[in-house]
Amino acid sequence: MRLPRDYCRFFETSTQVMPDKRNCQYEQFRSPFVIMVNLRKRNYCRQTGQTALWETWAMLPDTQRGIKDMAVQHETELYKPLKLFFERQGYDVKSEVRHCDLVGIHPEREQPLIVEIKKIFNLPLLLQGLQRQTLSKEVYVAVERNRAKKGAHNQRWSEITALCQRLGLGLITVTLYKTKPPFVEVLCRPAASDPSYSYLPRVIKPRVSRLMNEFHERSGDYNVGGSTGRKLYTAYREKALKVAAAVKSGGEMSPRQAKELSGVSATAAIMQRNYYGWFRRIARGRYCLTPEGLSALEEYEEMLSSLKQTASSSEL
């Protein structure tokens, strides 16, 4: 199997084994090495008896070995840096609120903050951003800034920034590193900060009120922004879990008793509609849990414990 050019150049320039890695000529590496090349290098060293050379090379950090940072595999990897970035500015941040990847509420601002997250900048991201402008004027789109793809069309940041400014959207890039914290950079802000911009769509107030209600009814942030194909932790699911936990404590009970134990005002409607299939009616006004309800309580056991802790702390 033929080896890469830089791979052969390493062994040409490193004819003698240096115990001190500072004296080795590792600046010859120019192309990024993947895991397959590393395995070939190790096997080559073993076959030629240069195991000390491999051990010395393996001790070097990734930057000196020529290994660059890997691109993100999922959109969820960008959520945590963005959440920390906005929490430092005083926002209360929650994820996946009525199909919005990230929603933030600031006590001194009327408009909610909305951020749509994607791995790369593309047309679906722009369309999502334009749709969110009917909920708020503070809308950002966030993507990864990959230093290994400088020539790609979705990495031409000056042109992308100009496009977002034309549409009234804010643009955020997230650069991930292996040895230091991620770097979040705001390339442009939404047009709400520019009073001369008057092309934003009208905010639909009923949709905004539903967004705010969903945000405030959640006790915490139990989702991860950018998730796809996962069960989302909504305010309705949280209420249903509280009712299910109350029913489990009594074995079987009426909606009135479950309401007193759970503190959920819509307990009767939740048990009668039985949206998740967690409750079973065994007699008139008497309910018990199904096997699906018991498995749901086991699945969300950590969240229920955190709910009890927050409830106890609020009473104090």
pLDDT tens sequence across 58-102 = 555 444 444 445 567 778 889 999 999 999 999 999 999 999 999
Q: Which residue type does 194 have?
A: D
Q: Give burial (CB, 10 Å; 0-12/13-18/19+) of 252.
A: middle
Residue 27 pLDDT greater than 90, yes or no: no
User: Looking at residues 265-276, what average pLDDT do you find?
Assistant: 92
Whether 106 shows a pLDDT value over 50: the answer reads yes
Residue pLDDT, tens place only, 214-228:
999 988 888 887 766
Over residues 147-176, the mean pLDDT reads 84
What pLDDT is recorded for position 305?
81
CATH topology of domain 75-217: Trna Endonuclease; Chain: A, domain 1 (3.40.1350)
**Nearest alpha carbon to residue 24 among 10, 37, 38, 36:** 10
Q: How far apart are CA 171 and CA 150, in angstroms?
A: 18
pLDDT band at 191 (very low <50, low <70, confident <90, very high): confident
Per-chain mean pLDDT for the chain: 78
**Residue 303 pLDDT greater than 90, yes or no:** no
On the CB side of 112, how many CA atoms lie within 13 Å of its CA? 31
Percent of the chain whose predicted confidence (pLDDT) is above 90? 44
- The position carrying tokens 């940072």 is 69
Q: What is the DSSP string of 262-303?
A: H--TTHHHHHHH-TTS-EEEEETTEEEE-HHHHHHHHHTHHH
DSSP state of 258: H
Place of tokens 């790369």: 120
Q: Mean per-residue pLDDT for 155-182?
A: 90
So what's the pLDDT on residue 138?
93
pLDDT value at 19 more than 80: no
Is residue 115 a contact partner of residue 140, using CB atoms and an 8 Å limit? yes
Q: CA-CA distances (angstroms) from residue 89 to 105, 128, 197, 241, 287?
A: 11, 24, 24, 32, 46
Q: Is 236 exposed, middle or buried (0-12, 13-18, 19+ CB in 10 A)?
A: middle
Q: How far apart are the two ends of the chain, measured CA to CA in Å? A: 69
> Does residue 161 have a pLDDT over 90?
yes
235-309 is a CATH 3.30.70.120 domain: no
User: Domain ranges in the chain?
Assistant: 5-65, 75-217, 235-309
Please tell me the predicted confidence (pLDDT) of residue 44: 61
Q: Is the pLDDT of residue 51 over 90?
A: no
157-171 in b/e burial notation, b at 16+ Cβ within 10 A?
beebeeebbebbbbb
* Alpha carbon distance 116, 82 (integer Å): 11
pTM listed for this prediction = 0.71
Of residues 211, 134, 218, 219, the one with CA closest to residue 168: 134
